[in-house]
Structure 1
Amino acid sequence: MFETVLVANRGEIAVRVIRTLRSMGVRSVAVYSDADADARHVREADTAVRIGPAPAAESYLSVERLLRAAARTGAQAVHPGYGFLAENAGFARACAEAGLVFIGPPADAIALMGDKIRAKETVQAAGVPVVPGSSGSGLTDAQLAEAARGIGMPVLLKPSAGGGGKGMRLVRDAGKLADEIAAARREARASFGDDTLLVERWIDRPRHIEIQVLADGHGNVVHLGERECSLQRRHQKIIEEAPSVLLDEATRAAMGEAAVQAARSCGYRGAGTVEFIVPGTDPSSYYFMEMNTRLQVEHPVTELVTGLDLVEWQLRVAAGEPLAFAQDDITLTGHAVEARLCAEDPARGFLPSGGTVLRLREPDGDGIRTDSGLSEGTEVGSLYDPMLSKVIAYGPDRASALRKLRAALAQTVTLGVQTNAGFLRRLLAHPAVVSGDMDTGLVEREADSLVSTEVPEEVYEAAAAVRLDALRPRGDGWTDPFSVPDGWRLGGTPKPAAFHLRVTDPVEHTPRGTHTVTDDSVSVTLDGVRHTFHRAADWLGRDGDAWHVRDHDPVAASLTRAGQAGADSLTAPMPGTVTVVKVAVGDEVSAGQSLLVVEAMKMEHVISAPHAGTVTELDVAPGTTVAMDQVLAVIAPVEEETA
């Protein structure tokens, strides 16, 4: 076994790998960018090496700097985690050339399965069913559009070089193919450095089932059962579970054998995942989608139902050990469900969020596991992936696992950064999820019913209570009666204090209930009902939801440029970087016309004209870093002609 392993990643996955290294007595080396100098994975490793500035291209994606860090610390092996260089064949080869063991599959297997076009051709030759789609690599836009029309709408555009939903586009209207192909290429190029696309038939209401495989260097390949990954948003998994309620034993065995054959077809070694798309009405008809040649985000649910530590077996296989079990030795016991906690704001269309973690409370207890890279004081920016942590629940059956996970999400507190915890908790209570009648479009169809844009009155009451408490005199001596915020006034009826507050729209709120305020909580009683919130600075949270309640100055707001511009002002919907500017000052635009693109956390957001008019101000250029709500441009409306 290795003495020292460098973990070429960050965040929760680096913390997760370090945990297993510690349990095996292996020295861990963390790497970090300037943005992560005080990150949790840095603190938990045995040693850590700075590898560059904040941008990933100059740090976590720099093969040269990673190899130099390994040499400086005496590492014998490199664990890539997932994301970044985990599925980069060039990195795997560079590790081998430097005398390091890459804890993952051979470079040739990564390259083969990383090219979705070649991967489909390879597994199809091995007898694995594949989704009908385009053939050949390097298709032009026109060839892709022709293939899409030949397959028949709707179709799915997919980057050949990557996964994780990045660059994937579902196209139902043939007239939008050109725009969607251009957008998919742009996202693929930004995410993977390769804009090669393929097109596949879209299967309506599909299930996404994946099979975990393990292969050693001695010819042994086994599968560890399936994971249900059908709960997705924008083709990104958000809830995963094992096993799937969809499969019976015969289908599970057949899909497992197909996954094993796919792994054998590329000479696989280590832990990997074979992903299938499955018609919900006919589970026996399954199609290969892709193979992920790395550890998956959702691997904990497989660990909990099999009792195996997948990171440990990655290390053992990489060190040359054979698997200590055969297929017949693997059993699935109980049920596990995982939720991905992301820095995003459901009330703002799930746009990426950011900030400083002011108060953190992560659930634990019987059957609860949290894989996290967070700590209080963590700065969440727009440079890296939005996933912050994973909350996993295990129980003897699916109902108990779901119940435990809902409770765990309600206990989750990440004040200072908006997350999707409350949304996930409500999703897990949706009747279709509880019954197991799911498909990959469920979340998109039901999102509006699971997101509340209304701010409950008790939130404003709690925020006002905090401000009222801050105004109260402290100390045991004489109190100036004029300093007490009780609304008293000379010769008149007391007028309770009112506060101008804002979560989304500004409100004026006068406290009317009873309150108890502490350093980290506030309780308010309204109409006989008590409401308790966690608090930190201007943030309040309960049951996984959080509200940033700011003071609002109506006079100052009316004097700002954004206030004066009103509906004519285009502001940044999230902190990020402007990547595309399609207009210039003086240009005439039409309502809904695409003007700019802002990117954050590997996600693009198109800024469109609110109405027809003329661009009178343009304050950004490609590469400009912007804050949330920063004014980007102003569109003067077309003046209506008078008779």
Structure 2
Amino acid sequence: MTMQHFDAVLVANRGEIAVRVIRTLRELGIRSVAVYSDADRDARHVREADTAVHIGPSAAAESYLNSKRILDAARSTGAQAIHPGYGFLAENAAFAEECAAAGVEFIGPPPAAIESMGDKIRAKQTVSAADVPVVPGRSEPDMTDADLHRAALEIGFPVLLKPSAGGGGKGMRLVHDESALDDQIASARREARSAFGDDTLFVERFVSRPRHIEVQVLADKHGNVVHLGERECSLQRRHQKIIEEAPSPLLDAATRARIGEAAVNAARSVGYVGAGTVEFIVSADRPDEFFFMEMNTRLQVEHPVTELVATAAGQRGIDLVEQQVRVAAGEPLPWTQQDLALDGHAVEARVYAEDPTRNFLPTGGDVLAVHEPSGPGVRVDSGVRPGARVGSDYDPMLAKVIAWGPNRADALRRLDKALADTAVLGLQTNVAFLRALLQHEQVQAGELDTGLVERDLDALITESTPDEIYVAAALERLLAAEPTGAVVDPWDVPDGWRLGEPAWSTWRFAADGGEVEVRLRGRAHDAAVSVETAPAGHGESTVSIETAPHRAAAEVRGDELTVTYRGRTRRYRFAHVDGTTWLAADGRTWALAEHRLLADRGAAGGRSDGVVTSPMPGTVLVADVSAGQHVSSGQRLFVVEAMKMEHTVTAPIDGVVAEVHARKGQSVGLDQPLAVLTTPSDATGTTKEAQ
């Protein structure tokens, strides 16, 4: 085997994974080459690479998925190898073949291994022949909708419809009964076609109380294959992982050894080379029984937890990207299975630009400020920076926050503290939800399954924001308005001075589905404060000023705002951008409207329930609606897609379509009106009661 040395490696990806790969290349003394689309011209990975090449428009199909432009960039920069990261072209066998034809090393497995494991139907057949247990189901190639329907009835409900190509939960559907089966098959095919260009589906038994456990493997070009232990990835939303940990709290030592051996056998069965992950499903009721699900022929999003706990020859910490590069260069693995062990516990949380209260639909916006945590055992893999624009072109993951501890309890505690110190200001994230999930009693106890988030979602997202957060925001704005300098005109001091008694200043916030109004009187360092909450949909609120309002005090030092309120002192990091104040505390962010009410609520609370809006920024895939059409409550009107995620928009009432504002293929924004429905009473101007 001829050994190579890479002087330059092109990273064919974006976001946090591109930044993370570039970091290792820098440590290895290898020149890094970034590629970027129009949307990523000023992205963090572009700034951190040694060289960057523009490869096309924002649409992934014309940039990050365009293999010709990727290879042209490699040739023009002298890159001898390409690291694909994950997603995009990472599991594209044709791209791996194109790299070989161009004389560029693909830092990943051989094309044949990608093909074998990329087709989940073929993969199950391959590993089954290697004595790896698989989930009962039907996975014949080219199954028609009728075939899938019959197979589901034979297997028995509930069943899982899964795309043969791709992963990440896209195109996957859990079906509980026959009534919804045909619609779910059609939806799964459509989403799989959009995400992977292949709408082939198969069906398998849904394992009760399933736990998602995967094993990290490494294989070199000399026939050596090892595993680095397992990861628990059972905490998911929309079939996508959000919190992962290593090792799994479910497995005992004997099962850990058996599942690791099964993973190695699966990798050997396809002649695997490089870093890969073999995924298994394990019933919480039968932890000694596991079934092969699929193999991801690439680096996984959650690889940092393995890196933090894996030890080689007694030394904790293995850089999987480094091993990928060394294996691609022809080097043998530096250890055998006997040299490898696990030390401590690590947990990772994925920070997304998404709204948990809207079923985790993507959000977006301009990143005004970023604060990332640090400290013992804390690691952050991030792709965001201030000034970046988060749109709907790509996956909404912004960063990963990872914590290591000598045991699971310490790792969970460190991660919670790190998330409390995480702020991405300017757009909504899932950080508060992640903290609530970490505190869930079953999560704390290690009693996990893939349905936990869905079952307990209401409890995980209903935590109200404490009054002190809004008091802090209002006090900071009051501080910003106070004059500074050696000479201060007392008439410029915003203390509400009036004859008789000081006036109140009013600040209103959008909060927890309603509004919070904060009234202040006096100076920020010693103010009287009154807070009142208005419920969702409430119009002008009447605020009763207390006879003895609470006192509060605030001061600013550097980028921290210190507020004392109701006997408690807290520190907040904040940013003030373009006349709007943004605060962050315990992983939350809030927008403060200027000295006025928030936008008129008439558009949300005053309009009829017949207004149909887009639940997320994206593109209209389906528009099953026309003016004058009679529709029923719950009937599908539109399908909106963003970041390869579909959301069906249904009619909120029985009625008639009065207006249609969106068509197939149109780009729409968050809460943009798509259509307006009216009831017969609306059309005649006569109410049912009057009739």
Common topology (TM > 0.5)? yes
1:457 paired to 2:467 = yes
Deviations 1:7-43 (A, max 9, x none): 0000111111111111111111000011111111111
- One-letter amino acid of the structure 1 residue matched with residue 587 of structure 2: G
Taking a change above 3 Å as real, the CA distance of residues 500 and 74 of structure 1, as seen in their structure-2 partners, is: same
Contact 2:508 2:598 (C-alpha < 8 Å) held by counterparts: no
CA drift of 1:173 comes to 2.0
Which residue is 2:609 aligned to? Answer: 567
Q: Aligned match of 2:53 in 33, 49, 60?
A: 49
The alignment status of 1:373 with 2:412, answered yes or no, reads no
Farther-moved stretch of structure 1 (576-585 vs 146-155):
576-585
| Of 284-293 and 464-473, the range deviating more from structure 2 | 464-473
Question: What's the offset of the Cα at 1:347?
Answer: 3.2
Aligned to 1:527: 566
Given candidates 181, 185, 195, the residue that maps to 2:185 is 181
* Residue pair 1:208, 1:228 contacting (<8 A) in 2 also: yes
The yes-or-no answer on 1:604 pairing with 2:608 is no
Query: 1 CA distance for matches of 2:514 and 2:68?
Result: 49
Q: Among residues 577, 582, 590, which one is paired with 1:547 in the alignment? A: 590
Q: Against the structure 1 CA distance between its residues 208 and 555, is the aligned structure 2 distance closer, same or farther, given a 3 Å change threshold?
A: closer
User: Which residue identity lines up with residue 487 of structure 1 in the other structure?
Assistant: G
Q: Distance in 2 between matches of 1:350 and 1:530?
A: 33
- Which of residues 499, 503, 509 in structure 2 aligns to 1:501? 509
Contact 1:502 1:551 in 2 (8 A): no
The aligned residue for residue 576 of structure 1 is 618
Q: Provide the aligned C-alpha RMSD in A.
A: 2.0
Q: Distance in 2 between matches of 1:629 and 1:479?
A: 45
Q: 2:494 aligns with which of 485, 490, 504?
A: 485
Aligned match of 1:227 in 187, 210, 231?
A: 231
Distance (whole Å) between structure 2 residues aligned to residue 432 and residue 178 of structure 1: 35
Question: Which of residues 169, 172, 176 in structure 2 aligns to 1:172?
Answer: 176
Give the equivalent residue in structure 2 for 1:631.
Answer: 673
Shift, 1:559, TM fit: 7.0
When the two structures are aligned, how many residues end up with a matched partner?
640
The whole-number CA distance in structure 2 between the counterparts of 1:479 and 1:109 is 76
Question: For residue 546 of structure 2, what is the aligned residue in structure 1?
Answer: none
For the pair 1:346 / 2:384, whether they are aligned, the reply is: no
Instruction: Give the match's secondary structure for 2:137.
Output: coil
CA contact (8 A) 2:560 2:574 kept: yes
Could you say if the C-alpha distance between residues 555 and 232 of structure 1 is closer, same or farther in structure 2, counting changes exceeding 3 Å? Answer: closer
Rate the CA distance shift 1:45–1:507 in 2: closer, same or farther, 3 A: same
* 2:68 alignment counterpart: 64
Q: Alignment partner for residue 98 of structure 1, among 98, 102, 121?
A: 102
SS at match of 1:276: strand
Q: Distance in 2 between matches of 1:210 and 1:500?
A: 47
Q: What is the SS of the residue equivalent to 1:164?
A: coil
Q: Which residue of 2 aligns with 1:590?
A: 632
Establish whether residue 139 from structure 1 lines up as the match of residue 143 from structure 2. Answer: yes
Residue matched to 2:600: 557
* Aligned mate of 1:255, from 256, 259, 264: 259
Q: Does the aligned pair in 2 maintain the 1:515–1:522 contact within 8 Å?
A: no
Which string of whole-angstrom CA distances, capped at 9 and with x for unpartnered residues, describes residues 481-502 of structure 1?
3x54333445x54331223432
Verify: 1:516 aligned to 2:524, yes or no.
Answer: no
Separation in 1, partners of 2:466, 2:138? 50
Given that residues 217 and 269 in structure 1 are in contact (C-alpha distance below 8 angstroms), is that contact kept between their aligned partners in structure 2?
A: yes
Return the match for 2:431 from 421, 424, 428. 421
- Whole-angstrom distance in 1 between the partners of 2:154 and 2:287: 26
Residue of 98, 102, 114 corresponding to 1:110: 114
Closer, same or farther: CA 587–550 of 1 in aligned 2, 3 Å: farther
Q: What amino acid is aligned across from residue 607 of structure 1 in structure 2?
A: V
For the residues of structure 1 that align with 2:49 and 2:414, how far apart are their CA atoms? Answer: 30
Q: Distance in 2 between matches of 1:308 and 1:558?
A: 53
Between 348-357 and 448-457, the greater mean CA deviation after superposition: 448-457
Q: Structure 1 pair 25/486, CA: closer, same or farther in 2 (3 Å)?
A: closer
Distance in 2 separating the partners of 1:505 and 1:369: 36
**What is the letter of the counterpart of residue 106 of structure 1?**
P
Give, in whole Å, the separation in 1 of the partners of 2:602 and 2:343. Answer: 63
Counterpart contact for 1:382–1:576, Cα < 8 Å: yes
- CA distance in 1 between partners of 2:598 and 2:445 (Å): 52
* Closer/same/farther in 2, CA of residues 431 and 268 from structure 1, 3 Å limit: same
Which residue identity lines up with residue 450 of structure 2 in the other structure? T
Hey, what's the Cα distance between the residues in 2 that align with 1:254 and 1:461? Answer: 56
| Correspondence for 2:365 | 355
1:393 matched to 2:403: yes
Larger mean CA deviation between 445-454 and 126-135 belongs to 445-454
1:72-101: CA deviations, max 9, x gaps?
Answer: 001111110000110011111111111111
Which range moves more in the overlay, 419-428 or 107-116?
Answer: 419-428
In 1, distance between residues paired with 2:186 and 2:95? 29
- The amino acid that maps onto 2:510 is R
Distance, in Å, in 2 between the alignment partners of 1:197 and 1:376 is 41
Whether the 8 Å CA contact 2:510–2:598 is kept in 1: the answer is no
Which one-letter code corresponds to 1:510 in the other structure? R
Matched, 1:275 2:279: yes
Residues 241-279 of structure 1: per-residue CA shift (max 9 Å, x gap): 111121122111111111111111111111111000011
Report the CA distance between 1:507 and its aligned residue: 4.3
* Contact 1:167 1:185 survives alignment (8 Å): yes
Provide Cα deviations, 1:179-231, integer angstroms capped at 9, x if missing partner.
11111111111111111111110011111111111111111111111111111
SS in 2 for 1:284: strand
Tell me if the contact between 2:163 and 2:171 (Cα under 8 Å) persists in the aligned partners.
Answer: yes
Out of 329, 332, 337, which is 1:327 matched to? Answer: 337
Is the 1:502–1:552 contact (alpha carbons within 8 Å) kept by the matching residues of 2? Answer: no
Matched, 1:89 2:93: yes
Shift of 1:554: 6.0
Deviation at 1:553, TM superposition (A): 5.9
Whole-angstrom CA distance in 2 between matches of 1:32 and 1:445: 39
Q: What residue identity is the alignment partner of 1:499? A: W
Output the amino acid matched with 1:635: L
Q: Which amino acid aligns with 1:496?
A: W
Q: Residue in 2 aligned with 1:309?
A: 319
1:468 aligns to what SS in structure 2? helix
Shift of 1:480: 6.0
Instruction: State how 1:402-481 maps to structure 2 within 5 Å.
Output: 402-452=412-462, 454-477=464-487, 479=489, 481=491
1:199/1:115 Cα in 2 relative to 1: closer, same or farther (>3 Å)?
same
Shift of 1:558: 6.4
Task: Judge conservation of contact 1:557–1:563 (CA < 8 Å) in 2.
Answer: no
2:365 and 2:391 in contact (8 A); partners too = yes
Report the Cα offset of residue 633 of structure 1.
Answer: 1.6
Compute the displacement of 1:475 (Å): 4.1
Between the aligned partners of 2:570 and 2:359, the Cα distance in structure 1 is: 27
TM-score under structure 2 length normalisation = 0.89
Contact 1:29 1:73 in 2 (8 A): yes
Contact 2:507-2:597 at 8 Å conserved across structures:
no
Name the TM-score, length of structure 1 as normaliser. Answer: 0.95
